[in-house]
Structure 1
Amino acid sequence: MKKSLATSQLNLPWLFKMAWRDAKASRVRLLLFMASIILGIAAVVSIQLFRDNLKDNIQRQSKSLMGADYLIDINETPSERAQFIIDSLNPVATEVNFVSMIAFPKNGGSKLVRVRGLKGMFPIYGEMKTQPQTAAASYQNNGGALVDATLMLQYNVTPGDSIKVGVITLPIVGALNSLPGSSAIMSSVAPPVVIPYNLVDKTELLQFGSRKEYQYYYKAKAETDLDELDKVLDPMLDAENADLDTHTSTSRRLGRRYENMGKFLNLVAFIALLLGCVGIASSVHIYIREKLKHIAVLKCLGASRQQSFFIYLIQIASIGIIGGVIGAIIGIGIQAAFPYLLKEFLPFDITVTITTQPLIMGVVLGFLIAILFALLSLLNTWFVSPLEALRVSDPNGLKKPKLARFIVFVTILLFLFLFSYWLLKNTIYAVGFVTGMLITFAILVGIASLTMKLIKTCFPKSWGYTTRQSLLNLFRPNNQTLVLIVAIGLGAFLISTLYFTKDILLSKTAIGNTAQSANIILLDVQPEQEAAITETIANNDLEVIDNIPLVTMRIHSIKGMLAKEAQEDSTVTIRRWVYNHEFRTTYRDSLISSEELLEGSWTPNVVPDEVIPISISDNVAEDANVTIGDTIVFNVQGVLMETVVGSIRLVDWGQLQPNFSIVFPNGVLENAPQFNVLTTDAPSESSSAQLQRNMVTKFPNVTVIDLRQVYTLVEDILNKVSWIINFMAFFSILTGIIVLIGSVRTSKHQRIKESVLLRTLGAKNKQILKITALEYLLLGTLGSLVGILLALISALLLAFFIFKEPFTPSVIPFLVFLPFISLLVLGIGLSNIQSVLKSSPLEVLRREA
């Protein structure tokens, strides 16, 4: 033993043995230190593993999701040139789909469905699962229908029963269990019903103004480069209002969609890991300060700088590795639940693959954050003198290794930047987060230092003994003010930022109320049907709330520039979809509840012999690059109509009611070919069902949307989204609480020695309690208050720059987090001295030694 201490060479077995012995004596503090690592790593691993699994599943199943290598889709009957391009590529299957009402003659039930008329071999990839299985191959030849299996259960129908689609009645030949490209959400809103393509015209459902989509499916040759095919054909098809979509582009698009959904989860992971880093830094700082005497004794016995340094480095690195392994295992368990929670959002089942990657990532991250955030404190061991074993001195007076500390600090910043960039995939966001953390840290350090200076300068000498003793604890040697205010403040800051951000995201999912309480919408009402449908509504003891005329049109030119000219001019910033889109417009004399005027003035009625002023939504104004006074010429079923932008509106598309991008004043479109949308309010489910039965029987082309059902579905989805966001927010808040417990708990031994000294000098238990309570209450209140106020500013910046949403601060952090964190710090502080109050001073000192 003496030989190993005397030598300056590193003796690894001895170092590990010493690290283990010291760890056993400090196991409670080190377990709290490890808990910070475990929870941070668990959040990162679970979210990253799920993201990787989702990406792999999308890439692996991209052909099955589409059902083909590529497809061409168009929202109108193809033009002659479009049809030539479509036919020249030899489609394997053809589809026309549209939303319509269907009826079940067996029980008089009716339902809004998506009718898919198919011919040819579809799907080329994947499988159409039916019951019986043979129905998928025979329905086209048998002239029957495949009906969504859940829908059949709801309406108590079986194969052999019939279904009425438009004016024809078809036999149900099978139950449809799954179809490429369908998700639970889509199927819940409008369940699929598949019929032979040649029967679609016989249904008489596709009339003027009906929304429909034609899709043509293709199987590519082995040598075909789909990206190159897209580059060549897409401009040609765009000119004909058609679009080419490949399975590779669909895969990328789906990946982006679900990656966007994961941005908040990535933010949670980042905050959870930061909380772990705060816990490590604060815990190790106090832990090492208490070990300086031990290190001095070791040096008295002959241990070198390197040996004393590596004893604690090995100890902390081991804890980081063990915490990383445990955190990775917990993260693997958490991510296994994500596919179940998110299944409604996904058009396929996710196969969770467990690999060694998350375990390796957890170990590496645990090791790195443990070492990096402990190094600043560990460097202090390097300059401990053997005389410190005998001296009563302030550890803060030790020589500071400035260059080494600077290098470590820069390395920590680089690690935070690289980690945030890895999570957020955005350099600006990564720099912003790291800068924000630096500013927050600097403000907390400044406030802690200012607090000590103010108390020392304006010390209330006339106050009572216990109060003065508490305040002295805040600035005298061995004080914990700086460490605890920074740790508590950062914890409160990160927790509150997460809570405020959660509120911003959940506010985006709020469902708007429909105008005038309408809960039934009737679409595609033809002019000759309007009077009869109005009478039918009245016969059901209901009244028409809105009768909205719709006129379809396309943009012919913008500011004198035709679509072809805009596409050929690379300097034009008009988005291509603006020219290709078929707009459904309306006319009225006033704004509705979901609209807000941003620019210009509203014109209720047209003025004779003047250019027609129209109102457009802000998104169309941005994509069309137009502002007040710019001219737009529309093609209204072959008639060119010149208009001028009179106003720009902000439209709340989240409200479940008919909203429009373009609105004309009265006195312009009344004589144009049009159809109507009617709304009414059905007070009960039975009255809604009765109206739908009457409509599907008398007017099969009219689509009836029951908003009551839509609300139920959307609320169910939003509840799941809210649950995920709340769960992950709670997960990080729990991490923050563990960090706070660890940071305050590790100060226990310093306060025990001081409290024992006070008892030895004659202080009573009540006095010691009051001194400790006031100190920790001040630290907890000040740290958490500053942290929450900084979080308020942070959330405001996030809402404005990243989420681009209005921000209404919640009072919960002030009413709940502030007192809770303050009382938590107080409770832990008081628990730290329980042994002093229950035992004799000599017994406590022996136990601590």
Structure 2
Amino acid sequence: MKLGLLLKNAFRDSRRDRSKLVLFMSSIVLGVAALVAINSFNYNLVNDIDNQAKSLLGADLVFESNKPFQEDWIKVMDSIPAEKASEVALLSMAYLPQQSQSQFVRIKALGGGFPFYGKLLTEPENVDFQKEKTALVDDGMMLQYSAEIGDSIKLGQETFVIGGRLKNAFGSVDLGSGFAPTVYIGRESLAATELIQPGSLVDYSIFLKTADDFNPDEWRDSKRDDFRDNGMRIQTVEGQKENLQQAFSSLNNFLNLIALVSLLLACIGVASSVLIYVKNKVKSIAIFRCLGMNGNEAFLIYFIQIFVLSLVSVLIGAAIGSGIQMLLPIVFDSFLPYEVDMNMSWRAIGEGILVGSVITLLFALVPLIRIRNISPLRTLRSSYEEEQGKFDRLEWGIYALIILSIFGFLWSLTGNIKDAGMFTGGLLVAFGILFGVAKLITFIVRKFFPRNWNFIFRQGLSNLYRPNNQTRTLIVSIGLGTAILTTLFIIQGLILGNVGAMGAGNQANTILFGIETKQKDELAEITRNYDMPLMQETPIITMDLYGWKGKTKQEWLADTTRTARRWAINREARVSYADSISKNDKIIAGEYTSRVEPGDSVFVSLGESWARSLDVDLGDEIVWNVQGALIKTYVGSLREINFRSMDTRFFILFPLGVLEEAPQFHVLVTKTPDAETTAAYRNEVVQKFPNVSIIDLGSILVTLNDILSKLSYAIQFMAGFSILIGLIVLISSLFLSKYQRINESVLMRTLGAVKKQILRINMVEYGLLGALSSLTGIFIALLSSFLLVKFVFELEFAISWLPILVIFILVTLITILIGLANSREVVNKPPLEILRNNG
């Protein structure tokens, strides 16, 4: 048959049923819109990272270390033709005399013309904070304490005038500002503060603006390993781009996974709608066959209809997605390092159209290809189920293509074949569980039908396996949407619960560090005066790893066959000594030695993860450099460290009798009863001991809670696409199936069934569907959440059942309400009028 005739027949045949497929189109529109919006946002973000990476880094080359740079390495940096600036950053306490308030801050002492690209956002602009005794203070901190420009801020032993408000800490993302607000001062003013003491957490940076003919990336690649072996890092603009892209890649992959699930939900709706549509057209197809049309030609007529509808839906979805992307910077504003310029992304639109069209058509083909097998005899026998029981290689080939297309999309998204396989497998397991539950329910109801039950319940149950039922479609679509929503709530609740538990009960909530030995006793006395417990008083000694297993550190670094991880080798060791291990740690191998007598071998206890990374085991020799003195030790025990506790934790723990005379500083851990006590205690300590830093875990946990709540909101906003599409699939499936059920409802009305009975029958049916779908989705959510919590987040799996119960009730009620709304035409009008309108 000629193409023109096929097109004409397709157009004529669709005229009567076009309005019935509007909801079929809407699910595709939303699915593609989610995909295009998320990809557009990602591509614009990546494009802006490329454009603004230099401004975010502020230099062409950045050198970083947690120790002062040695003269030899400074000479290496000076050999580069470049303009130079430096920064010393440290965590310490600030005191505001006018407000009588103290705050844990990050002090950045800057010298030179940094930033070389971009600029600090300040109020007023271009504040010269590098002049003597002038500070630039974080705007949020000033607002919190009602500080004004011209007020004083005391840092260590020096008092500065606040010269301006800092609107952004250069090159940083806003997430950390709540933990330690930034204060800028001049590099030359740092010495007067006397804040750099043993135990101070200090980072050193040197910034270079190189000559135009110098290639920073080539130079970095040639020197990176040498710098890393000596505990230093090199950053370039290209490295900054990679870091920023990596920072947002996980979030983008998660959002794209949500978009893909949304699209798959839409495609389930497509397959369901097309199946119902084809069932409606069985007699028309049979008539076409009687008129001499073969099965493939009949198939093409309906394929053309679905293809055109799909294409129109995908194009509309792409257009809507391009508009929705404008909302995403608002939703993710708290997590972006800069303002993202949202432009039309033709790449995202093209990918959305391609992926949407391919997956939609593949799902639509599953019921469409059965048209080829419809016999002309169907003009007399309208049963459609006879064709469905036959094995069709082409149909199974389409199933394989669907799986391959999903895998291919995920592979292109993650760039990792293993991750793509795991995601695909997870989706298949979820679909398999939902589909299996649907099949099992229909089998059980059919096999063990309760014939002695009330008529209403019997009729509602029988609707689950009647010829035109939507049990499988609805359980899969509603169940998958419920699984996504429930998983998000469970993970959110677990993370927030673990964060809240950190400050609960007898957990410590205040840590003082940088305490000199001569200050220890007086600080303990101040703490007791506030009726606060001395939960820990821990000494800390800084040392370097000199060698192990008979080789020096440099020999191991030069050994290409070593298995030890570089991070473990180069990590600055901050160790402690005690007569016993923390109650939160657990010995998993060996025994802990509490004290060593002079002349005895020294056995240390190592954290299991660090020991594994250094590739050492019980009995292995490790040599340490403690301020120039070499100490030989042996691995005496391995510990599993509980990182969720608020106590101090150490990868390396010495016994008593070894390090008592070594240069050291101390940490004091306590618990304050309330915010007022915390403020008073902090102010007294800061005024008497300006070098001591106080970390208020309570305020940090509040900030962390706020960040996680914002992130949860952002993710739930995107997950809303899945939920909305699931509801549309539900509505469209019920709407389209209504036309199959009209004769049944009319027959019941004719036989005397009243409106109330029909509504109760529908309530039973949709209540069962909603309950079964939500329960299956919740089961999948519990399974996936357990795996995520145990193997990704490594948290305790203790969930709150109330939100899950609320989700179950809401999903069930929504399903019932939509089902009852769908039935109102049948119950509100006379049977004859309904037959005339739909006959």
Q: 1:94 aligns with which of 83, 86, 91?
A: 86
Alignment partner of 1:504 is 2:522: no
After superposition, the C-alpha distances for 1:68-115 in whole angstroms (9 at most, x for unaligned) are 001111211222322322333355111212122233344444332222
2:502 equivalent among 493, 513, 521: 513
Which residue does 2:603 correspond to in 1?
613
- 286-295 or 456-465, which moves further after superposition? 456-465
Matched, 1:116 2:108: yes
- Mark the CA change 1:391 to 1:684 in structure 2 (over 3 Å): closer, same or farther: closer
Match of 2:476 in 1: 489
Which structure 2 residues correspond to residues 79-478 of structure 1 after superposition, within 5 A?
79-89=70-80, 92-136=84-128, 139-141=129-131, 144-298=134-288, 308-397=298-387, 402-442=392-432, 448-449=438-439, 478=467
The CA distance in 2 between the partners of 1:801 and 1:254, in whole Å, is 25
The one-letter amino acid of 2:55's match is S
Query: Are the aligned partners of 1:780 and 1:821 in contact in 2 as well (CA < 8 Å)?
Result: yes
Identify which range, 812-821 or 323-332, moves more after superposition: 812-821
SS of residue matched to 2:104: strand
Segment drifting more, 146-155 vs 635-644: 146-155
CA contact (8 A) 2:468 2:737 kept: no
Relative to structure 2, which stretch is displaced further, 819-828 or 218-227? 819-828
Are the aligned partners of 1:99 and 1:115 in contact in 2 as well (CA < 8 Å)? Answer: yes
Aligned to 1:11: 5
Q: How far 1:274 sits from its partner (Å)?
A: 1.9
Verify the 8 A CA contact 1:270 1:423 in the aligned structure 2: no
What is aligned with 2:518?
528
Shift of 1:23: 3.7
Q: Which moved more, 1:571-580 or 1:105-114?
A: 105-114
Amino acid in structure 2 at the alignment position of 1:720: K
C-alpha distance in 1 between matches for 2:323 and 2:609: 42
**Equivalent position SS for 1:98:** strand
Q: Once the 2 structures are TM-superposed, how far is the Cα of residue 276 of structure 1 from its aligned partner?
A: 1.5
Give distance in 1, aligned partners of 2:68 and 2:48.
35
- In structure 2, the CA distance between the partners of 1:802 and 1:280, relative to structure 1 (3 Å rule), is farther
Deviates more, 1:763-772 or 1:413-422: 763-772
Query: How do 1:781-792 residues align onto structure 2 when only pairs under 5 Å count?
Result: 781-782=771-772, 784-792=774-782
Does the 8 Å CA contact 1:277/1:373 hold for their aligned counterparts? yes
Distance 1:309 1:198, change over 3 A: same
Contact 1:602 1:646 in 2 (8 A): yes
Distance change in 2, residues 1:765/1:337 (3 Å): closer
Match of residue 30, structure 1, among 8, 21, 35: 21
Q: What is the distance in 1 between the residues matched to 2:730 and 2:573?
A: 57
Report whether the alignment pairs 1:39 with 2:30: yes
Give SS of 2:636's match.
strand
Contact 1:520 1:682 in 2 (8 A): yes
Verify: 1:720 aligned to 2:707, yes or no.
Answer: no
Q: CA deviation at 1:125?
A: 0.9
Query: Kindly tell me: are residues 575 and 394 of structure 1, through their superposed partners in 2, closer, same or farther at Cα, counting changes over 3 Å?
Result: closer
Alpha carbons of structure 1 residues 611 and 264: separation in structure 2 relative to 1, 3 Å: farther
The separation in 1 between residues aligned to 2:66 and 2:296, in whole angstroms, is: 74
Deviation at 1:815, TM superposition (A): 3.4
Q: CA deviation at 1:375?
A: 0.9
Give unmatched runs, 5+ long, in structure 2. Answer: none
Per-residue CA deviations over 1:230-261 (Å, capped at 9, x if unaligned) read: 22212222343322221211221221122123
Q: Distance in 1 between matches of 2:259 and 2:338?
A: 26
Residue number in structure 2 paired with 1:3: none
Give the whole-Å Cα distance in 2 for the aligned partners of 1:790 and 1:287: 31
In structure 1, C-alpha distance between the alignment counterparts of 2:405 and 2:212, rounded to whole Å: 45
Rounded Cα–Cα distance in structure 1 between residues aligned with 2:697 and 2:534: 15
1:58 — aligned with what?
Answer: 49
Gapped regions of structure 1 (runs ≥ 5): 1-6
Tell me, yes or no, if the aligned pair for 2:40 and 2:349 is still in contact at 8 Å. Answer: no
SS in 1 for 2:343: coil
For residues 530 and 446 of structure 2, the distance between their equivalents in structure 1, rounded to whole angstroms, comes to 81
Q: Shift in Å at residue 447 of structure 1?
A: 5.3
CA deviation profile, 1:745-797 (whole Å, cap 9, x unmatched): 32222222223234445556566556555555555555554454455444444
* Cα deviations by residue, 1:543-589 (Å, 9 ceiling, x for unpaired): 64432211111222233332112211122121222232222222234
C-alpha distance in 2, partners of 1:797/1:690?
44
- What secondary structure does 2:106 align onto? strand
Cα distance, 1:728 vs. partner?
3.0
**TM-score for the superposition, normalised by structure 2:** 0.90
C-alpha spacing 1:290/1:348, structure 2 compared with 1 (3 Å):
same
1:266–1:424 contact (8 Å) kept in structure 2: no
Specify whether residues 499 and 157 from structure 1 end up closer, same or farther in structure 2 by C-alpha distance, changes over 3 A only.
Answer: closer
Residues 421 and 427 of structure 1 are in contact (CA less than 8 Å); yes or no, is this contact kept in structure 2? yes
Q: Which residue of 2 aligns with 1:815?
A: 805
Tell me whether 277-286 or 182-191 shows the greater mean CA deviation.
182-191
8 A Cα contact 2:549 2:621, kept in partner: yes
SS at match of 1:178: coil
Note if contact 1:278-1:491 (Cα within 8 Å) is conserved in structure 2. Answer: no
| Alignment match, 1:4 | none
Q: Structure 2: how far apart are the matches of 1:91 and 1:454?
A: 78
Confirm or deny: 8 A CA contact 2:123 2:166 kept in the other structure.
yes
Letter in 1 for 2:522: A
Amino acid at match of 2:705: E
Query: Are 1:494 and 1:791, in contact at CA under 8 Å, matched by a contact in 2?
Result: no
Q: Per-residue deviation at 1:183?
A: 2.9
Output one character per residue of 1:390-426: Cα deviation in whole Å (capped at 9) or x when no partner.
4343443379682432332222222111122233333
Against the structure 1 CA distance between its residues 236 and 439, is the aligned structure 2 distance closer, same or farther, given a 3 Å change threshold? Answer: closer
Distance 1:839 1:294, change over 3 A: farther
Calculate the aligned-residue CA RMSD, in Å: 3.4
Pick one of 544, 549, 554 that aligns with 1:559: 549
Amino acid at match of 1:96: V
Does the 8 Å contact 1:383/1:398 carry over to 2?
A: no
Q: Is the 8 A contact 2:43 2:348 kept in 1?
A: no
Look up the equivalent residue of 1:581 and give its one-letter code.
R
Amino acid aligned to 1:430: A
Q: How many equivalent residue pairs?
A: 835
Give the AA of the match of 2:739: H
Post-superposition offset of 1:822? 4.9
Question: Is the alpha carbon distance of 1:492 and 1:453 closer, same or farther for their aligned partners in structure 2, counting shifts above 3 Å?
Answer: closer
CA 1:340 to 1:592, structure 2 compared with 1: closer, same or farther past 3 Å? farther
